Amino acid sequence: MNVLWILLLPMLGTLVPLLLAKQSRSRNAWGTAAAPALALAILLSTTQSVFSGEVLLQQWQWIPLLGLDLTLRLDGLAYLFSLLILAIGLLIILYARYYLSEQDSMPRFYSFLMLFMTAMLGIVLSGNILQIWLFWELTSISSFLLISFWWHKSEARRGARMALTITGGGGLCLLAAFLLLGNIAGSYQLADILEQGALIQQHSLYPLLLVLFLLGCFTKSAQFPFHFWLPNAMAAPTPVSAYLHSATMVKAGIFLLARFYPALSGTELWFLLVSLTGLTTLLVGAYLALFKHDLKGLLAYSTISHLGLITLLFGLNAPLAAVAGVFHIINHATFKASLFMAAGIIDHESGSRDMRRLNGLWQFMPITATLMMVAAAAMAGVPLLNGFLSKEMFFAETLQQHLLGALSWIIPLLATVAAIFSVAYSLRLIHDVFFNGQPKGLTKTPHEPPRYMRLPVEVLVLLCILVGIAPAMLVGGLLNSAAAAVLAGNLPEYSLAIWHGFNLPLLMSAIALAGGVLMYVKRKQLFDFQSALPGVDTLNIFEQLMKQLTRGAEKLYNWIDNGSLQRYMALLLTAFVILAGLPLIQMDALGGGRAEIPIDAVNATGAAMLLISAFATVVWHRKRVVALLMISVVGLMVSIAFTRFSAPDLALTQLSVEVVTIILLMLALFFLPHKTPKQSEPSKVVRDLGLASLVGIIVGSLSYAIMTRPFTTISDFFIANAKTGGGGTNVVNVILVDFRGFDTLGEIAVLGIAALGIFKLLTRIPVFKPSSDGEGRPWARERHPLLLATVAQSILPLALMVSIYIFFRGHNLPGGGFIAGLITAVAIILLYISQGVDWVKARMNIEYQRVVAVGLLIAFMTGLASWLFGRPYLTSWFDYFQLPLFGEIELASAIAFDLGVYVTVVGATLLILASLGKMTTSYRPTHKEQL
Amino acid sequence: MNHWLEWAVAFFLLLGGSFVLIGSIGLVRMPDFFTRLHGPTKATTLGMGGILLGSIFYFSMSPETLSVHEMLITIFLLITAPVSAHMLIKTALHHRLKAVEHTQGEQELKRGQAFASKEGNRSETPDD
Amino acid sequence: MLAQVIFLVFGMISLALLLNLWRLMRGPSLPDRILALDTMYINSIALIILYGLLMGSPLYFEAALLIAMIGFVSTVAVCKFLLRGDIIE
Amino acid sequence: MRMTPRFSWLPTPYRSLLLFVIWLLLNQSLALLHLFFATVLAIGIPWICYRFRDPQPLIERPGLALRYILRVFADIITANAQVAVLILGPVKKLRPAFVRIPLDLQHNLPLTILAASVSMTPGTVSADIYPSIEHLAPDEPQPQRWLLIHVLDMDNEAELIATIKSRYEAPLKEIFQC
Amino acid sequence: MNHLILVPILLPFLTALLIMLPPIHYSAQRRRWLSMISTALLLVVSVVLLLTIKQQGLTFYALGNWQPPFGIIMVADLVSCIMLCLTAFLALGAISYGSAGEDEKGSFFHPLFQFQLMGINGAFLTGDLFNLFVFFEVLLIASYALLIHAGGKNKTRATVHYVILNLTGSAVFLLALAILYGTLGTLNIADMALKVTQLPDDNLMLVKAGALMLLIVFALKAAILPLQFWLPATYASASAPVAALFAVMTKIGVYALLRVFTTIFGEQAGPLQGLANSWLWPFGLATMLLGAIGVLASQDFRKLVANLVLVSVGSLVVLVAVQNTAAHAAVLYYTVHSTLICGALFLLADLIATQRGKAQDRLVAARRVNQPVLLGTLFVLCAISVAGLPPLSGFIGKVMLLQAAFGANGQYWLWAILLLSSLLVLIGLSRAGSTLFWRVSGMQKAEERVQPLQLFAVLWLLSASLLLMVFAGPLTELSFAAARQLADVLGTIQSILPGSGVLP
Amino acid sequence: METLFALCIGFLTACGVFLMLRGRTFPVVVGLTMLSYAVNLFIFASGRLNLKGAVVLGTSDSYADPLPQALVLTAIVIGFAMTAFLVILAIRARADLGNDHVDGSMPAPRHAKRERTK
Ligand code: NA
Ligand code: NA
């Protein structure tokens, strides 16, 4: 339970500042501090058992199928990091109370900070590697929010995005590494993985895994060449820098190196990748730090350098080096956090961080200056301070390794060079800021900070001194247990004494101190040399890179997707040609051996007419009216084909749909140009012709292949059961209203919806009403020719009669509700054509959308009625009744269903055609009318 | 099978088919739109009547039924053919189609075209 | 004998249809084309009735009836379109 | 001339009769059931459709009407034979013409029947009835209207006009009493 | 027989009709409430159905009491039930959002919305290939009509493309159906799976042609490269609730792929087994990458979200091609996650656009949103989830996807492209977020505020991401169970066609 | 006959596809209509051709396959609904966008495009 609370309390703590938002700033700070303080207390309560080597474990099932169980694991390493996170976190909370101004939203800051703390604790306490990743990414997110806290500053936004991009990318690599790791080890539990070091290192995927893993660690820990995000993250408020960029987040990568040390280290590859990266980073960071004029910039590069140092230590594949690494983690956290906070104080109280302007601050803030001097000295590795101890160990370790064979001496040499730089920039930090003449152009007079703002710095500096003097007493146990965890129990002999006698490491330290002082004294030449080099503005480069990436993406995307439907269609059809054509090519023979029906002259004539008129439609497609007439012939021939090949129902439907379509197209042509301009380039026409021919050839061949193959189908069932089970002799109709009635229900729904959609399309459409036809003739004078009007009125009853006839016979003979509905609708449309909208509206004022709804409802309810009899939806019913005089009659539920179809069709057709017709009248569809 | 009926069927079918064909020949042969209109309007209608009569007789040959519903198609064609012709010739007037050269009553044609298209002056009488 | 007659008439109707198509393609004016199409519709009725005779089946009657109706309505609609542009006004 | 029907439930009796017959034609049956349906529909459909009908003069002389129909039928057959000959004959010898016939009839229904009869019979096609009275205000007097016809082969214009007026227009005036 | 299976289709249908008729028809409030209540009820029904099926196993409903393979059947298995629940959940969010005023910007919003649901649910439930076509058409026609809701030039332009492409797609669907019917002689999916095993060699390639044509159709619906072109403009221009609902539309394509290519051409299909995989794999990867590039390239936020949809589609399709239980389980989990979160993003985009004045959702400096804290928080949460960052559901989805690829051919391609596209998405989202909320020009604030119903809608959809995370254990188990059921083709055939005898 | 039938289907498809590839809405509508004819005939043909088998019970002894006919009926109706929607959409696009190009705007001529990129 204990370990859980260490994580849970800060998590709950994210809410505290939000809840206290209305309270005073101090209360907010104290309230926020309460949760981590309590967590710290719990952590301290476990000291005994952790130091004794116990591993506290807690586990809950979460996603067993992914191998992701919530596991908390507190060992020495986790203890060390938790301690750093919580303790320094508390100091930061206190510090931030004074650092943040009135304009800054304190609840937001504290909430983000607590979120970050939770994430960090999550990483170090996790006992499951997927869970580690979960918290790992959470640190990226929360640090993004913290870096961009002053979002109105452009460099804050950019810095945050840069950090997120780099660490996010690294996080993805880490995920891949973890998945590989889990897969190799057969478990995602940390404990299992740490035991499988040998297995993992022998696996063929180990190199890939390691590279991915290190990419994750190095990006987070700002190792070269990913280091550049860290200086740019300095746009964040200083408490953030002090916390994230010195003590915690940048250490997350280091933490992982330490955490997986037993499983991954010890190989040649590990050494090469880790130690060389660390060494490079150590040098690059130290060198660049010297030339930064920004206080925080200098600290940032120094952090990079120290992180490189720690990385190098872990890369040396030596147990003692690992111990030194752990030790330096502690020391770096203390002195760097205090330095950042002190820098923040200077910034806060003097209004600047530019060391070219900050001079002689000793006279204004002696206490702060003293504190900073001590911390800087610790950073430089001055004896009696904690930094000296770990640096000493570091030097010793660089001397112990023989990894580069005969060239192994390079490592201690370069380490010393880095140390010289380290001393030089530390010296600059002190001298340039606190002495070196008078301040230049500061906006306010610097002064000491409030009492409690300095307190965190004081505490940390005190620790630097105390650890420096009595290391074994103060951090002996901590280091011991942490190092033991890193080394999986194989702790080497080592001593934390201040004095190891005169030895090579001490000499290296001395050289570093002396060299550093000398270098600082001679800094002028170095600075001149550096300023002669071309400056590298990483932020701008990154921004430019991102812009180029975006622009490149845009260009590529627009090149692929140029917004032209013709291209989309061509691609769709090409896909068709390839996918449908390939199997055809693989086929042995197209024909399937089924005997063909002989061709007769009449059918040949029909086919010829069909082909000619289809061809004519294409040829004349730009003369739209002519094309329409030609395609009517095609439609007519198709209907005749249906009749010829024993499908009277199809012919009827095709014919009735045909007429409605022609009316529709005629209506539409009024609002569209009558001619299509010639626009396609010849090459495009050729391409289209080719594509169309290929599609045609494939479809025709497929059809031929099917028709000439023998066949067995479920249709025999329909023929056998139409009369006995469906009560009708027209099998097609019985299929429609009974066997597959659900299709029909969907089909009339489509029709109804289309009608609604069309009404919607016509609502409030801007009318464009041509005053003359395509040739420029004004329209004819007579709106409603007399003969047509009279005849249309006489045809109506006839058509109604025919449609009733067609309706009722449908079940047993060709016909049915759909065709009947279209006949009725056409008869009414004929009235619209011959008499106009006003005339019809005066005699019949129906909202057709309601007719559609009623029709659908009838069909729907017919289906539902079968539930009353405990039957599935749409179960049909029919029976024969013997009536006196009339004889036998059949009643069937199919009739009711067909009635629904009929009403829907009438409603939908009229809604479509009449709405379109009404566009030029005072009854135009508007939205209000419908409301 | 009733022999007489069979003859009747053959007769009417042949008669109808001939007239239908003649109507279409007219459509192709005649020199201008107005003369072309006559064939399809009249000959074809009659031809259809013949074929439909043939069909009526044919289906009446089978013993149990008297098939007369083809009458309905005939009625329909008789009602609609003049209207179609009327609409077509109105369109032709509106489009000012030329009549073949030796057509008599040129002014009547002109006047008809004028009335088809003229806007306004609705009560004007077609007097010279 | 009847079968031969029916085939003969089939031939006549087919020829008539082709003639219609010729006029439809040839034009020259739109009314000419519409007239040709209207005639084609009517001739198709004959064709379908003949199919009915050939099959000895009355199932084709409705298709013929329907063509009579749609031929008329589409002809009227196209003419109205050419006359007034707006077919429902 | 009478424009309003005798029975409101049976506004158009001849049309009802026609529908009654058509229903029986369609179903090809004289069974009691169909007779019953035919009656219902013959009454019901005209009743529904009556609102979609402009008032027209009613047939006052049904006998005459029947005779007129038979005459037109006979004319169709003879006229068609003539037209067939003309179509197959030499095209050059045709004497096409446009002719204008003054109209005595005024109402839409008789005019329509006249125009239709003319279209179906002797080598003539009705082209137009003008002027149109569509835009006429209700109080304006009706102008003299004309029937424009196209003749395929015209012999004598006056004779043709006289034939049409006497053979078709006069009986229609009689039938509708207008 | 359990009528419950049919309710997800019938309920929205009836609701749509009732909304069009008096007395509901008359008042906007009544229309809204009926629509919302009905959708909530739909969710309840879907969940109950899911629980029932989980207990009883696969169940089917024979419409008209005509037994398969002759009649049309609706099949409820875990996969379809999960999709039903997803749709209802999403729809409730979308309809709530729409009821805050968007619905009155054009006619028939609620009926069309319900019709759309009917079509979608029908497509999920049907066990008949032609009936699937019909429901596709129902949902398509409703989507056409919804797409133009509230009007505007962009909508019209996008709709023209969308409609024409889909009409072509429908034609291909019909051709494919005809080929399959003409060779297999049946339309029932389970029966087709059975008939495929008895196919004469002569017909093999014909069936393959039909199947690959179906692949085109579903790829078009799912928006797989090179058939994805309709998607960005369509989704970016649609009215917010419509776009949110559309988030599930591409998933219908993925679902159909899963259904057809694991059942009909599943393990029993012999030489035709898994015939789509070699196509789906590369094109899925390409789609994913293109979507990620699109996220970077997008000049406005809605287009960015539309491209996020593409990314998710690409990931799903690749996994469909992997064709193992873990992959299909991942597909299911990830589908639910990505659909809901994309829906939430579309709604959120609308809220942001409304508050940014003229700039709308374009990624340029503009006036500050009125409620930066609220919208910003929502944005961050949505972004975290959709980018696959922890702790929201996206991260679980991503882990599932990556894990499922273990052992697949070309696993590293998938990993590389998936991770790369994740990075690109992260970059794109951080750019979008910082532009939308932080690049402020002028101090003028808009007056628009988020309405309660709108807020509810976004929170509702976002809460899904949280629930998917918290209950990830049982939900992944459910996904695996569903995937196992899906893969058990022989079992499916046995339960639908019990008389079909023992298969080879 | 099957050959002829397949030829017609293929030719109609090709014509329809060609028209659907045009740049204006109206030819696309016409092309779509043509393609629908082809597709309907194709579905119909999947039940194999039969000259003498209208599926009305009691009128024949070898019936055509009724199922494709029913499918075609559904396809015709749905096709009609879709065509209608597309037609009206074309009108709407013309009204909203001022032209009847499928992309809602005239594509710039090629040489003009090249100049712009220069
Ligand atoms: Na200075
Ligand atoms: Na109009």
Q: Give dist(CA F67, CA A736) in Å, integer.
A: 9
Cross-strand partners of A890: A880
| C56, containing H or E segment | none
Within an 8 Å CB–CB cutoff, is residue C8 touching chain A? no
Q: What is the pLDDT of residue B66?
A: 64
* Residue at D129 is within a domain: yes
User: Where are the domains positioned within chain C?
Assistant: 2-84
Tell me, in angstroms, the distance from the centre of ligand 2 to residue A832's CA: 9
Q: Which residues of chain E have a CB within 8 Å of the CB of F20?
A: 164, 168
Instruction: Give the closest-approach CA distance of F61 to chain E in angstroms.
Output: 21
* Cis amide leading into C28 (omega within 30): yes
Cross-strand partners of D126: D149
Instruction: Please determine, for residue A905, whether its predicted confidence score (pLDDT) is greater than 80.
Output: yes
| Residue E164: closest C-alpha in chain F | F86
Q: Which of D29, D83, D118 to mutate to test the interface with B (most CBs of B within 10 A)?
A: D83
Tell me, in angstroms, the distance from the centre of ligand 2 to residue A90's CA: 78
Res. D14 pLDDT band, cuts 50 70 90: confident
Tell me, in angstroms, the distance from the centre of ligand 1 to residue A434's CA: 7
Q: Which residues of chain A have a CB within 8 Å of the CB of C4?
A: none
What is the domain range of residue D146? 62-176
Residues A333 and A470 in one domain: yes
Tell me, in angstroms, the distance from the centre of ligand 2 to residue A908's CA: 18
Residues D73 and D123 in one domain: yes
Res. A779 pLDDT band, cuts 50 70 90: confident
Instruction: Give the closest-approach CA distance of C28 to chain F in angstroms.
Output: 22
Q: What is the pLDDT of residue E139?
A: 95
Give residue-wise pLDDT tens across range A665-709.
998 888 888 888 887 788 889 999 999 999 999 999 999 999 999
Structure tokens at B111: 């006047």
Within an 8 Å CB–CB cutoff, is residue C60 touching chain A? yes
Within an 8 Å CB–CB cutoff, is residue F46 touching chain E? yes
Residues 149-178 of D with CB under 8 A from A: none
Neighbors of chain F with 3 or more C-beta pairs under 8 Å: A, C, E
Judged by 3 or more CB pairs under 8 A, whether C touches E is no
What is the domain range of residue E446? 3-494
What is the domain range of residue A661? 565-675+684-712
Pairing of strands E73-76, E59-62: antiparallel
> Quick check: E229 and A561 CB within 8 A?
yes
Give me the mean pLDDT over the E56-68 stretch.
Answer: 93
Structurally, chain A folds into a number of domains equal to: 3
* Residue at D144 is within a domain: yes
Residues D162 and D123 in one domain: yes
- Which of C43, C58, C61 lies at the smallest CB-CB distance from B20? C43
Instruction: Please determine, for residue E205, whether its predicted confidence score (pLDDT) is greater than 70.
Output: yes
Answer CATH for F2-117 from 1.10.287, 1.20.144, 1.10.3470, 1.25.40: 1.10.287
> Quick check: F48 and A711 CB within 8 A?
yes
- Which of E3, E206, E419 lies at the smallest CB-CB distance from A176? E419
Judged by 3 or more CB pairs under 8 A, whether A touches C is yes
Instruction: Please determine, for residue E221, whether its predicted confidence score (pLDDT) is greater than 70.
Output: yes
Give A735-757 as a DSSP string: IIIIITHHHHHHHHHHHHHHHHH
Q: What is the pLDDT of residue B65?
A: 64
Tell me, in angstroms, the distance from the centre of ligand 2 to residue A923's CA: 10
> Quick check: A672 and F25 CB within 8 A?
yes
Residues D67 and D48 in one domain: no
| Percent of the residues in chain A that have a pLDDT greater than 90, as a whole number | 65
Q: What residues of A are in the D interface, CB distance below 8 Å?
A: 781-784, 786-787, 789-791, 793-794, 796-798, 800-802, 804-805, 831, 840, 843-844, 885-887, 889
Give residue-wise pLDDT tens across range D111-129.
999 999 998 876 888 888 8
Structure tokens at A466: 């105390």
Tell me, in angstroms, the distance from the centre of ligand 1 to residue A442's CA: 12
- Residue type, position A921, single letter: T
Q: What is the pLDDT of residue A321?
A: 92
Tell me, in angstroms, the distance from the centre of ligand 1 to residue A280's CA: 28
Res. A929 pLDDT band, cuts 50 70 90: very low
Judged by 3 or more CB pairs under 8 A, whether A touches B is yes
> Quick check: B124 and D148 CB within 8 A?
no
Instruction: Please determine, for residue E32, whether its predicted confidence score (pLDDT) is greater than 90.
Output: yes
Q: Give dist(CA A401, CA A263) in Å, integer.
A: 21
**Residue whose structure tokens are 């050289």:** A511
Structurally, chain E folds into a number of domains equal to: 1
Residues D77 and D39 in one domain: no
Q: What is the pLDDT of residue E503?
A: 54
Give residue-wise pLDDT tens across range A106-126.
999 999 999 999 999 999 999
Contacts of A238 (CB under 8 A, 6+ apart): A99, A296, A340, A341, A343, A344, A347, A348
* Residue at D57 is within a domain: no
- Which of A606, A770, A826 lies at the smallest CB-CB distance from C73? A826
Q: What is the pLDDT of residue E190?
A: 94
Q: Please provide the average confidence, as pLDDT, over all residues in chain A.
A: 91
Answer CATH for C2-84 from 1.10.287, 2.30.30, 2.60.40, 1.10.150: 1.10.287
Instruction: Give the closest-approach CA distance of B91 to chain D in angstroms.
Output: 10
Within an 8 Å CB–CB cutoff, is residue A635 touching chain F? yes
Q: What is the pLDDT of residue D177?
A: 85
Residues A754 and A893 in one domain: yes
Res. A246 pLDDT band, cuts 50 70 90: confident
Give residue-wise pLDDT tens across range C23-53.
999 989 999 999 999 999 999 999 999 988 8
Q: Which residues of chain D have a CB within 8 Å of the CB of A887?
A: 31-33
Phi, psi of E158 (to 5 degrees): -65, -40
Within an 8 Å CB–CB cutoff, is residue C13 touching chain B? yes
Tell me, in angstroms, the distance from the centre of ligand 1 to residue A804's CA: 102
| Percent of the residues in chain A that have a pLDDT greater than 70, as a whole number | 99
The secondary structure of E82-147, three-state, reads: HHHHHHHHHHHHHHHHHCCCHHHHCCCHHHHHHHHHHHHHHHHHECEHHHHHHHHHHHHHHHHHHH
Q: What is the pLDDT of residue F116?
A: 43
* Residue at A105 is within a domain: no
Closest by Cα among B96, B8, B100, B102 to B55: B8
> Quick check: A134 and E391 CB within 8 A?
yes
Give residue-wise pLDDT tens across range A531-540.
888 777 788 8
Question: Which letter does DSSP use for residue E451 in this model?
Answer: -
Residues 17-76 of D with CB under 8 A from A: 19, 22-23, 26-27, 31-33, 36, 41, 45-46, 48-49, 51-54, 56
Structure tokens at A637: 């021939």
> Are the beta carbons of A324 and A390 closer than 8 angstroms?
yes
Residues A449 and A497 in one domain: yes
> Are the beta carbons of A170 and A215 closer than 8 angstroms?
yes
Give me the mean pLDDT over the E175-197 stretch.
Answer: 94
Q: What is the pLDDT of residue B126?
A: 43
Q: What is the pLDDT of residue E15?
A: 96
Tell me, in angstroms, the distance from the centre of ligand 1 to residue A535's CA: 21
> Quick check: B108 and D98 CB within 8 A?
yes
> Are the beta carbons of A332 and A386 closer than 8 angstroms?
no
* Residue at A702 is within a domain: yes
Tell me, in angstroms, the distance from the centre of ligand 2 to residue A833's CA: 9
* Residue at D151 is within a domain: yes
> Quick check: B37 and C1 CB within 8 A?
no
Give residue-wise pLDDT tens across range A710-728.
999 999 999 999 999 888 8
| Residue B66: closest C-alpha in chain D | D28
* Residue at A469 is within a domain: yes
Res. B59 pLDDT band, cuts 50 70 90: confident
Give residue-wise pLDDT tens across range E102-129.
999 989 999 999 999 999 999 999 999 9
Tell me, in angstroms, the distance from the centre of ligand 2 to residue D136's CA: 21
Closest by Cα among A92, F84, F101, A707 to E141: F84
- Which of D97, D125, D132 lies at the smallest CB-CB distance from B37? D125
Instruction: Please determine, for residue A8, whether its predicted confidence score (pLDDT) is greater than 90.
Output: yes
Res. E184 pLDDT band, cuts 50 70 90: very high
The secondary structure of A843-903, three-state, reads: HCCCCHHHHHHHHHHHHHHHHHHHHHCCCCCCCCCEEEEEECCCEEEEEEHHHHHHHHHHH
Q: Which of C51, C57, C61 to mutate to test the interface with F (most CBs of F within 10 A)?
A: C57
* Residue at A317 is within a domain: yes
Instruction: Please determine, for residue B125, whether its predicted confidence score (pLDDT) is greater than 70.
Output: no
**Measured CA distances, A501 to A391, A401, A504, A770 (Å):** 15, 21, 10, 105
| E358, containing H or E segment | none
Instruction: Please determine, for residue A775, whether its predicted confidence score (pLDDT) is greater than 50.
Output: yes
Q: What is the pLDDT of residue C24?
A: 94
* Residue at A188 is within a domain: no
> Are the beta carbons of E164 and E201 closer than 8 angstroms?
no
Tell me, in angstroms, the distance from the centre of ligand 1 to residue A432's CA: 4
Give residue-wise pLDDT tens across range A146-159.
999 998 888 899 89
> Quick check: C31 and B9 CB within 8 A?
no
Q: Which residues of chain B have a CB within 8 Å of the CB of D98?
A: 34, 99, 103-106, 108-109, 112
* Residue at D152 is within a domain: yes
Q: Which residues of chain B have a CB within 8 Å of the CB of D120?
A: 41-42, 45, 78, 81-82
> Quick check: C59 and F59 CB within 8 A?
yes
Q: Give dist(CA A307, CA A320) in Å, integer.
A: 18
Within an 8 Å CB–CB cutoff, is residue C86 touching chain A? yes
**Residue whose structure tokens are 């007129």:** D68
Instruction: Please determine, for residue A575, whether its predicted confidence score (pLDDT) is greater than 60.
Output: yes
Q: What pLDDT tens digit does each residue of chain F (118 aa) get?
A: 899 999 999 999 999 999 999 989 999 999 999 999 999 999 999 999 988 888 888 888 889 999 999 999 999 999 999 999 999 999 999 999 988 899 988 776 655 444 444 3
Q: What is the pLDDT of residue B68?
A: 74
User: Is the pLDDT higher at E487 or at B62?
Assistant: E487
Residues D117 and D145 in one domain: yes
Give residue-wise pLDDT tens across range A780-825.
888 888 899 999 998 999 999 999 999 988 888 888 899 999 999 9
Q: What is the CATH number of the domain that holds A574?
A: 1.20.120
Contacts of E472 (CB under 8 A, 6+ apart): A62, A63, A66, A68, E393, E396
> Quick check: C40 and A633 CB within 8 A?
yes
* Residue at A388 is within a domain: yes
Instruction: Please determine, for residue A222, whether its predicted confidence score (pLDDT) is greater than 80.
Output: yes
